[in-house]
């Protein structure tokens, strides 16, 4: 019988526990999706990132495409070259190595997550929903602005539009459901809240989130590399700026 070291045994137990929390199902003839049934924490975001990186390092990256979101990884593959069994195998191997790379308590160090600070001009004109959120939660507008800046947010997903990052979790004290009727036009740079998520609109578009301020930084610039100030897994903090700074940084109202 094979003897395992205490470390190996411990890793196997961790993998076994983790496997209890996941599900892998087909999404189409050319995609499978991994679900991790865990609360939305930094650990979950780091695990998703680590598994995605692991699969990409095992696969031929030109034939695989991963869409990472809150608690799932969609893996698209070329069914003429491989199949769902092979991709699942890679997925399980990536999970195993996540726990065995002698860093199972601190796998965040494998990735290059960063902390991004985004300036926001919070005001009545740039944040038309500030007063409503304040009234709803029996807070002052200043308190809403303060609470929004206190949290460090995690970028859980990027989608909806190029450069649109879904960030969480917003403090329940200022969480706010989406507008019943979405606005026909949300300005570029609008900083907004929907339930416990916050985001910056990268371009003018229709939208139903509650607008609390405006950010002068471009969220998506196709002409520079990198095109976005953050990626999935990064941390974001918001910092209040005044009107002059907003305009000086290139903000437009």
Q: Which of 164, 201, 209, 246 binds another protein (CB under 8 A)?
A: 164
Q: Which of 12, 58, 67, 217 binds another protein (CB under 8 A)?
A: 67
Residue 30 is a binding residue for another protein (CB under 8 A): yes
Neighbours of 129 (CB within 10 A): 20
Q: Which of 14, 38, 76, 88 binds another protein (CB under 8 A)?
A: 76
φ, ψ (nearest 5 deg) of residue 56: -65, -35
Tell the smallest beta-carbon distance from residue 32 to another protein (Å). 8
Q: Which of 4, 19, 26, 117 binds another protein (CB under 8 A)?
A: 26
Q: Which stretch binds another protein (CB under 8 A): 100-108, 133-141, 151-159, 183-191?
A: 151-159
Residue closer to another protein (CB basis): 79 or 250: 79
Say if residue 226 is preceded by a cis peptide, omega within 30 of 0. Answer: yes
What single string gives the DSSP state of each residue in the chain? -----HHHHHHHHHHHHHHHTEEEEEEETTEEEEEE-S-S-HHHHHHHHHHHHHHHHHS-GGGEEEEE-SSEEEEEE-TTT--HHHHHHHHHHHHHHHHHSS-TT-GGGGS---EEEEEEB-STTT-TTHHHHHHHTT--HHHHHHHHHHPPEEEEEE-SSTT-EEEEPPPGGG-BPPPSS-EEEEPTTEEEEEBTEEEE-SS-EEE-SEEEEE--S-S--TTSSSSSS--TT-EEEEEE--HHHHHHTT---
Token pair of 144, please?
């809403």
Tell the smallest beta-carbon distance from residue 230 to another protein (Å). 11
Residue 146 is a binding residue for another protein (CB under 8 A): no
Site size for another protein, by CB under 8 A?
43
Q: Which of 65, 101, 143, 171 binds another protein (CB under 8 A)?
A: 65
Q: Which stretch binds another protein (CB under 8 A): 94-102, 124-132, 153-161, 179-187?
A: 153-161
φ, ψ (nearest 5 deg) of residue 212: -120, -10
Tell the smallest beta-carbon distance from residue 189 to another protein (Å). 16
Residue closer to another protein (CB basis): 65 or 101: 65
Tell the smallest beta-carbon distance from residue 45 to another protein (Å). 12
Residue 178 is a binding residue for another protein (CB under 8 A): no
Site string for another protein, 42-61 (x = CB under 8 A): -------------------x
Residue closer to another protein (CB basis): 122 or 166: 166
State the Cα–Cα distance between residues 125 and 120, nearest whole angstrom.
13
Residues that bind another protein (CB under 8 A): 25-31, 33, 35, 40, 61-62, 65-74, 76, 79-80, 83-84, 157-164, 166, 203, 220, 222, 227-228, 231-232
């Amino acid at each position: 019988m094979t003897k395992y070291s205490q470390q190996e045994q411990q890793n196997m137990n961790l993998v076994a526990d983790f496997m209890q929390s996941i599900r892998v199902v087909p999404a189409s003839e050319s995609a499978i999706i991994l679900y991790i049934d865990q609360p939305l924490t930094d650990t979950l975001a780091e695990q998703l990132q680590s598994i995605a990186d692991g699969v990409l390092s095992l696969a031929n990256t030109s034939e695989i495409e991963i869409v990472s979101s809150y608690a799932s990884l969609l893996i698209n593959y070329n069914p003429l070259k491989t199949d769902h069994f092979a991709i699942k195998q890679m997925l399980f191997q990536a999970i195993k190595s996540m726990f065995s790379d002698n860093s199972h308590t601190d796998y965040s160090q494998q990735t290059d997550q960063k902390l991004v600070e985004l300036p926001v001009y919070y005001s009545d004109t740039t944040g038309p929903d500030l007063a409503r959120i304040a009234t709803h939660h029996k807070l002052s507008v200043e308190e809403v602005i303060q609470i929004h800046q206190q949290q460090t947010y995690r970028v859980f997903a990027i989608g909806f539009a190029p450069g649109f990052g879904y960030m969480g979790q917003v403090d329940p004290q200022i969480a706010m459901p989406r507008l019943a009727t979405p606005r026909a036009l949300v300005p570029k740079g609008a900083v907004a809240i929907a339930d416990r998520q916050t985001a910056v609109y990268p371009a003018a578009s229709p939208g139903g989130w509650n607008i609390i301020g405006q950010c002068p930084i471009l969220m998506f610039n196709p002409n520079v590399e990198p095109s976005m100030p953050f990626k999935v897994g990064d941390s974001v903090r918001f910092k209040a700026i005044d009107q002059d700074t907003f305009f000086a940084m290139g903000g437009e109202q």
